[in-house]
Amino acid sequence: MEVAFVFGLSNSFSTFSAVLNYKWSPWIADHYNVTTALWVGAGVCGLSFVAALLLVQIDKKLHIASEKSEAASIRDLKLLGWVPIVPQQYLSPDSVSRRWLFWLLALQSLVNSCIGPFNNTATSVFLERDYFQQPPPLCQRCGLGYYNVYCDAVSPHCPNVPPFAWPLPLLSKNCSITSPFDQFQCSKAPPYILDEDINCDDVSWREGPFTHRYCATKSQAAETATSSLSYNPMVQTGLAPLAGWLVDLFGKRPMLSLVAEVGVAVAHAAINYSQVTVTVPLLLLGVSQCFLQASMGSAFPPLYAHYDRYIPHVQVLFVGFGVANALLGVALVAMDRAHHGVLSRFSPPRDMDLDHKEPFLEAS
């Protein structure tokens, strides 16, 4: 077993859970409610935590059974085949610490870890463009503009749905209901109801005679959008082990890493400079991340000889980062208080918001 292949397997299993999340979460939210979907996610996180506790116990028993129970022993890595046994081809830890190569890899890993949030943001931009665009003024509301006569189908004068939203119902903004048929008692005079006033997670709105089609179309667009989100992790689930095997077979980690980083940059450039379909940049991001993680993750072990300890006192570094992060949190709280709690303010809920069951996910 080779190190890059192991990284590929790990990446494959981790992204498989993301695929299930993108596929199941919208279905649960649509058939039950968003709160149920959130609780299912919390349950999965709990299972992950229990698995981590079991892994700790297994690791402890392994150390007790071993002849030399040393923390962070390199021998445990050799048992998994992570470190090839060719001592003369490896630099000693003392020499590596003075070489620029290690620090360049560390900096590259840091920058790569920062790409993740931007990948999510880029995906959101694509979904906003392809599924949740606001239609022209004459196509925004039933009973007005091009929908003055009928509102059962998309008007030939209006853009397709999706990527544009279904027209809003002709209801007054002060429409307050407790059952679907209460909508017949609502006024149809301006000011009109807006998207944020319609809680499609509530049965009264979802099954209402004037909002049923709007909520159904909105839910369908949300399911399609979240299904598109699964393209990236789906590619990584299937391709990551193969990418790791290719890295182990051919080496050339710097070159593969460079090509993968160029792929990530091209995918992000497509956000701002092209109108390609959403699948193209997501697939490109998935392929690029497979080779990027396989090539960079397996680049550190060859820098070290197999001594008794993998990286001397590496646990101290982890503790230091944890303490530094906690100190930053304390500084953030102190600065927030110094600025009169600008980060702690909240907006009082509106009357309609008291009945909302979807505090986080409201696709618009």
What's the pLDDT score for residue 136? Answer: 92
SS3 217: helix
Tokens of 75: 């021998």
Q: Using one digit for the tens of pLDDT, what is the confidence trace for 209-235?
A: 999 989 888 888 777 777 777 788 888
- How far is it, in rounded angstroms, from Cα 39 to Cα 45? 10
What's the pLDDT score for residue 66? Answer: 52
What's the pLDDT score for residue 168? Answer: 92
Q: Where are the domains of the chain?
A: 3-72+90-118+230-311, 137-226, 313-345
What stretches in the chain show pLDDT beneath 70? 1-3, 59-99, 116, 118-124, 126-127, 300-315, 344-364
Q: Which residues is 309 bridged to in the sheet?
A: 73
Q: Using one digit for the tens of pLDDT, what is the confidence trace for 241-277?
A: 888 888 888 878 888 888 988 998 898 888 778 877 7
Q: Using one digit for the tens of pLDDT, what is the confidence trace for 119-163?
A: 666 666 766 777 778 889 999 999 999 998 888 888 899 998 878
- Mean pLDDT in the chain? 74
Q: What CA–CA distances, in Å, run from 165 to 9, 124, 160, 168, 237?
A: 40, 16, 8, 8, 32
What's the pLDDT score for residue 306? Answer: 52
Q: What is the total residue count of the chain? A: 364
SS3 141: strand
- How far is it, in rounded angstroms, from Cα 305 to Cα 150? 75
